[in-house]
């Protein structure tokens, strides 16, 4: 299957799903400022999210891409709409405290006849500021539509799943490269350079895109924390080194984590490994159509607890297309209280990470919900990496 570009029928289906959700929530128009949602609805792909931009969806017709005028050229190269639906604002609005780009977005909705009703905005989103909301609210009746488009992305099409499979091959190659070059005394930033190089070169004849999150590669006491990156210190024997990384193909992410020891791991790490392996098996036996996120978390936490370990945070989340600063879809979480029903085509990063008193252990899996159960997208063994 060639998925260099999505078929027009796929974009039409996506737009229909968004509009059905808009009708359900009584919205007359929707402003998407999350770049992941913008890309999913239109194909737009550019590193322009540091300035205000959006995709506007009205009650009918094509969406409208709106952003900085110089980025309209990138929109013409990537979106499926025509020139009439690509609108740029003057550069004098960029980071100018005397005026704001949202003034031109409000004017655009008036021009299109979409300003008289309820307009949805993604209020709890990284890219939508308090100032942006205040300016729009001066002209429009705004309704919080955070997550509306994200939830329409939950079930992946065959073409999307193919992209994620290609990303899975890339993250496997990245982990294999870690095993090839990691050794005591190697400065961590040298290893990260190899990780990034391998991720960019790709795998299986498919190039690698940039990740929404940089490699998280802490060692020793730094590995007791989940979200530290790297420095120039050399890797050492007797410390846990975990690698939370993602392969990316055309913005579709496949994250996976593994943990490395030089020499035989301490007994408590072997106990933690056994606990995570048994808990992972329980999850894979439970997951499938009809199960809920809460049930998956219960299967994991119950098994983990019997081994004497405990995890407070969620054990996974939905993944797919994403941009910085997060590779999650910001919808479902594998945790108590989330009763979302799993359906074929959903993809999760199952994240059974444990942080101990002197390091961390991460053995995580990207998983696809199928018609009959669940599939691990990666084939790497679910165990500690050990180099003697």
Residues 220 and 128 in one domain: no
Is residue 1 a part of any domain in this protein? Answer: no
- Say if residues 39 and 153 touch (Cβ distance below 8 Å): no
Where is the domain boundary, 152, 171, 186?
152
Q: Does residue 287 lie within any of the structural domains?
A: yes
Instruction: Provide the pLDDT for residue 45.
Output: 97
**pLDDT tens, position by position, 56-114:** 999 999 999 999 999 999 999 999 999 999 999 999 999 999 999 999 999 999 999 99
Same domain, residue pair 16 and 125:
yes
* Same structural domain, 198 and 319: yes
335 and 208 in a single domain? The answer is yes
| Euclidean distance between CA atoms 36 and 329, whole angstroms | 8
Is 147 contained in some domain? yes
pLDDT for res 217: 97
Please indicate, yes or no, if residue 107 is contained in any of the structural domains.
Answer: yes
Cβ proximity of 296 and 303 under 8 Å: no
- pLDDT at 3 > cutoff 90: no
Query: CB count, 10 Å around CB of 267?
Result: 8
- Regarding whether 138 and 192 lie in a shared domain, the answer is no
Instruction: Give the span between the Cα atoms of 137 and 26, in whole angstroms.
Output: 18
Residues contacting 231, CB < 8 A, separation 6+: 188, 189
Radius of gyration of the CA atoms of the chain, in A: 22
Angle at 255 between CA 192 and CA 307, to 5 degrees: 105
Q: Name the residue range of residue 224's domain.
A: 158-387
Phi/psi at 259 (nearest 5 deg)? -120, 140
The predicted-structure confidence for 18-71, as pLDDT tens digits, reads as follows 999 999 999 999 999 999 999 999 999 999 999 999 999 999 999 999 999 999
99 and 186 share one domain: no
How do strand 354-355 and strand 360-361 relate by DSSP bridges?
antiparallel
Residue 106 located in a structural domain? yes
The two tokens of residue 79 are 């979106």
Task: Over range 331-352, report the average pLDDT.
Answer: 97
Domain of residue 100, CATH code? 3.40.350.10
In terms of domains, do 172 and 238 share one? yes
Name the domain count of the chain. 2
pLDDT confidence bin for 122, thresholds 50/70/90: very high
At residue 355, the pLDDT reads 86
Given 125, 152, 179, the domain boundary residue is 152
Residue 2 lies inside a defined structural domain of this protein: no
């Amino acid at each position: 299957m060639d998925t260099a570009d999505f078929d027009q029928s796929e974009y039409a289906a996506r737009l229909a799903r968004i509009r059905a959700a808009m009708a359900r929530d009584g919205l007359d128009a929707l402003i998407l400022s999350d770049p992941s949602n913008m890309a999913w609805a239109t194909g737009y792909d550019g590193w322009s999210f540091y300035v205000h931009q959006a995709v506007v969806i009205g009650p009918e017709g094509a969406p409208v891409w709106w952003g900085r005028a110089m980025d309209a050229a990138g929109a013409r190269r990537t979106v499926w709409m025509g020139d009439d639906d690509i609108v740029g604002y003057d550069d004098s609005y960029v980071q100018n405290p005397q005026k704001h780009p949202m003034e031109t977005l409000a004017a655009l909705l008036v021009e299109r006849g979409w300003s008289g009703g309820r307009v949805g905005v993604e209020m709890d989103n990284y890219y939508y500021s308090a100032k942006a909301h205040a300016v729009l609210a001066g002209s429009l009746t705004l309704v919080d539509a955070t997550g509306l488009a994200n939830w329409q992305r939950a079930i992946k099409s065959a073409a999307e799943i193919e992209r994620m499979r290609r990303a899975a091959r890339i993250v496997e190659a990245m982990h294999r490269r870690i095993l090839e070059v990691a050794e005591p005394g190697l400065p961590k930033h040298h290893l990260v350079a190899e990780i990034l190089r391998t991720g960019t070169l790709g795998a299986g004849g498919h190039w690698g895109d940039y990740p929404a999150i940089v490699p998280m590669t802490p060692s020793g006491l730094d590995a007791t924390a989940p979200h530290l990156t790297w420095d120039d210190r050399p890797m050492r024997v007797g410390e846990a080194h975990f690698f939370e990384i993602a392969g990316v193909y055309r913005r579709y992410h496949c994250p996976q984590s593994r943990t490395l020891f030089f020499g035989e791991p301490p007994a408590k790490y072997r106990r933690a490994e056994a606990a995570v392996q048994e808990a992972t098996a329980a999850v894979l036996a439970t997951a499938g159509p009809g199960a809920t996120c809460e049930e998956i978390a219960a299967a994991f936490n119950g098994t983990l607890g019997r081994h004497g370990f405990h995890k407070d945070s969620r054990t996974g989340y939905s993944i797919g297309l994403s941009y910085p600063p997060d590779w999650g879809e910001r919808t479902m979480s594998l945790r108590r209280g989330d009763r979302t029903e799993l359906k074929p085509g959903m993809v999760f990063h199952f994240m059974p990470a444990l942080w101990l008193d002197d390091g961390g252990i991460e053995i995580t899996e990207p998983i696809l919900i199928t018609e009959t159960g669940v599939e691990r997208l990666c084939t790497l063994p679910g165990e500690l990496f050990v180099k003697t």
